[in-house]
Amino acid sequence: MPSTGTASDAQRMLQLKLEVPRMPSSVVHRARLMTALGSVAASRLVLLTAPAGFGKTTLLSQWRDHLRDAGGRVGWLTLDEGDADVRRFMIGVIRALESADVDVGDLVAQADRGLTEITIDSAVRELNARLAGSGAPVTLILDDYHRASAQPLDGFLGQWIALLPEGTRLLMSTRRRPEIGLHRLLGSGAAVEITSDMLRFTPSESRQVLDVGLAEADRDALAERTEGWPVALQLARLITLQGQGQASGAPALGRLATRGGHLWSFLSDQVLRGLTEEAVDFLLETSILERFSVEITDALRGRDDSWRIMEQLEPLQSLLTPLDADAIWYRYHHLFADYLQAQLRQRRPTAVPALHLRASEAFERRGLLDEAVRHASLAGDFARCAELVEQAGGWRLVLFGGMGQLNQLLGFIPPAERLSHPRLLLAEAYVKLKMGLLREARSTFDLVALDPGAPAGDWPAGDWSLLNDYERDTLNINVLIRTYEDNTVDVPFLSFFETMRQRMPDADGLTRGVLDCAGAVASLCAGQLARAEDFARQAMGAMRSVNSVLGLNYCFLHAGLSCAYRGELRSATAYLQRAKAMAVENFGADSGLKALAETLLALVELWGDGRLTMTAQELDEAFRHVCDYDGWFEIYAAGLDSRFRLAWQAQDSAAMDRVIADGDALTRARGLERLASIVQAQRLLRHGAAGETAQAQPLAEHLAARFPLGIWRDNPVHWRAGVDVAFALGTWLAIRDPAQARERAGDMLACARAIGARPYEVRAHLLLARIAALGRRPDDAMGHLREAVERAAGEGIALPFFEQPELAPLIRRLKRALWDGGGNPVEASFLSSIDERMAETGPADGSPIAVLSTREQEVVAELSRGLTNKEIARALDMTEHTVKFHLKNIFAKLGVDRRAHALSALRDTGWSSRA
């Protein structure tokens, strides 16, 4: 296999775009334009718009030097066609600002990984915050923007310019106006445009350029004829210098046209004339290169004399520009390159594809994959393009942070050509999958699948250790798509993973890690929760063996969610905190992986305490980041569940509606049927909370028909949506049809027990307790409450208790019984904390009971039972003196002076129903 080179070479190519092209010493200082730039420096955007040859790059270079000499921070980025991708553009911007000594923080690490772990919006927010806090003006120069200009980038840039913080300036050169809302920016004063008319040399500047020994009359005539066109003046100067000591150059200069009509013939007659044949051949052959080094040109030409020839070309100066301080990499002036390429096509038309192929091979040897594929594409050798992408890993590039690069590589190959290369289609399918385009991923995969309709476990037959790369890729992508699609995962599908171990005992680490991760997700789907953790732990070892930190992060997420579903909240927190720490360390504080970890951590926190350490807004932002990044059913369900439960407990209808709208949008975009059912269950709870019977009743009937009792027994993949639907139906039916409510809650309990999903088992017991309490069956209610406490106390699963505030009297009674009867202290303490929280959040502010502390409310509860001070003291483990102290405070807060009056004042608050 050919060498893939080193990462340093690829980094060097990016570094070249961050360096200012070296200007020849003879370049005229444009004092007039420098003054003009200084006068508009406060504008957010200064746009230089002019055709080729008007000195835009030269002027920007001079302005950059001026700002740096004045102590300013200036970043430079030369753009090319690849920067039309917004992510690649932002990578360049981040690197350019870093090179200008702007502290861009974790964005550097994100840029190294192609910004695949962070949304563009997040990158912009972080970058703007860094720029705003930089403490000094920052200027970013974008040269040759026209080469990258495209609708997505133009739209993005137009929005970003409006968000630039105070003190940040953007300078751009372009041959044509970009569609960035320029008229609006110009009208508001946020932008200034400098056009070709202003960039032209004045007569005095023109004479200064031509002051190289010409007669004054010839100089003035030439200055007038060139009309201040910078490139024509520079060429005239070059020809004059070359012709010194020979016959007068005036006849040749007289043929120099003002706008390029004869420019190429001028170049042919005057610039190339006098060069050796080998130098001309060198220019023609290397004109196909965007940028080149001696090593590249030697490989392209099959010779080793490039340095010698380039020394002969030194007089060309501005037509052959060094790109770095070490003069290792070069480029031709764009007009000169256009001319040389036209000459090449005219003189040697059949040589062009061969030159591109040799260039592709040269860049491949240097490890510059993007350039290697680009030149192979220009040669029309798409088979070679496919080979290069496949050798680099194909779809596997994504697992090492290369989704942006893979997208770009695929972009060099027309869609119609990809149809002839199945492994490219597999890579394309995986990219679409990671972008959340599930339907598109499936349709692309089905173009190449050996048998798209066959279960993964039925294909292929025989010894899987003998699979070739294409078959192995097909196997991996098939399993991943099925897992993400979610709707086709079933119990028989899980047998595939055991078959895989038997048939591929020596599978490579990445294949094993990917398939074990898929096995974890599929196991969660089918309700095999402990098996999911086993798969995740096996995947950890495989991912470590190939040093895929990205893959390892996913392993911890899957393991954490498995523990969360089983109610092992401490283990879940440990896994997820590890995943979050890894994400921050390796991918940045605003990465998609961090958002995934935070979304799952929020679910664990909510189950455990009913509260979050992050704000609701932060949870919303993390969830939206997940939706833009790389989510799947379990992540979406966790995020929607946490956000909805918070809103439902607070009876915040607007917040509930926002969550439901987000869920509807996700199900439409992803086509996840189980998620749609969860959103419908949330909608039923929302209508029930608002008393909207007309909307709730038909929805309840639909869900009841969609999820018949025991559906999870026939097909366990319905367990996760089924428990949410059962809870919503049981809650809705509790006061309308208690018998059906008990059936739904009982079915939920049976499902949770069978699956081993302890939090849902606790939730089902408490729903049954509430239904029993409403039906005046206190013994049944207390029995279910005891079961719930036994299952919840060890791991502190508190959320389901806060969902049933009507059970507060029973909770207080059970708490007292546990303490008084020598019960389990962990359970008693757990109930004490639940009771305190319920007392804090139960009554609305402004009601009489709201002014009492938790302990004072407990005293009132015993008071309402007719107990004496001594009996209250014994019940609450306090002295009679302490009881009297609390009663005194209670009477004062309620504005009464005796027990009877206090109870009368509280009667309307509903306290008697809580006692």
Structure tokens at 107: 């964005």
Which of 482, 553, 545, 561 lies closest to 508 in space, CA to CA? 545
Nearest to 762 by CA among 796, 718, 725: 796
Between CA 881 and CA 365 the distance in angstroms is: 89
3 state SS of 141:
strand
Mean pLDDT per 10-residue interval, the chain, length 915 residues: 41 77 66 77 84 81 86 90 86 92 86 75 87 87 91 89 89 89 84 82 74 70 68 70 50 44 55 79 92 91 89 73 79 80 88 94 90 94 93 80 76 90 91 83 83 47 69 85 80 79 76 89 93 94 87 94 96 95 77 89 93 88 83 92 92 93 91 92 95 94 96 92 97 94 97 96 97 92 96 95 90 87 88 83 54 75 81 81 85 80 67 42
Alpha-helical segments (H) within 526-652: 529-545, 549-565, 569-587, 592-609, 616-628, 633-649
| Predicted local confidence at residue 266, as pLDDT | 57
Please, are residues 772 and 780 in contact by the beta-carbon 8 Å criterion?
A: yes
* Nearest alpha-carbon partner for 126 in 135, 136, 134: 134
Helix (H) or strand (E) holding 75: strand 73-78
Q: How far apart are CA 259 and CA 261, in angstroms?
A: 6
Q: Which amino acid is at 745?
A: A
Instruction: Give the pLDDT score at 453.
Output: 44
Backbone angles phi, psi at 258, to 5 degrees: -85, -30
Kindly list the distances between the CA atom of residue 326 and the CA atoms of 139, 297, 299, 399, 529, in Å, as whole numbers in the listed order: 25, 17, 20, 35, 59
Q: Tell me the whole-structure pTM to 2 decimals.
A: 0.74
* Three-state SS letters, 440-453: HHHHHHHCCCCCCC
Amino acid 501: pLDDT: 74
CA pair distance 294, 135, nearest whole angstrom:
42
Domains in the chain (CATH in brackets) are: 29-200 (3.40.50.300), 398-582 (1.25.40.10), 635-830 (1.25.40.10), 848-914 (1.10.10.10)
In contact, 604 and 560? CB cutoff 8 Å: yes
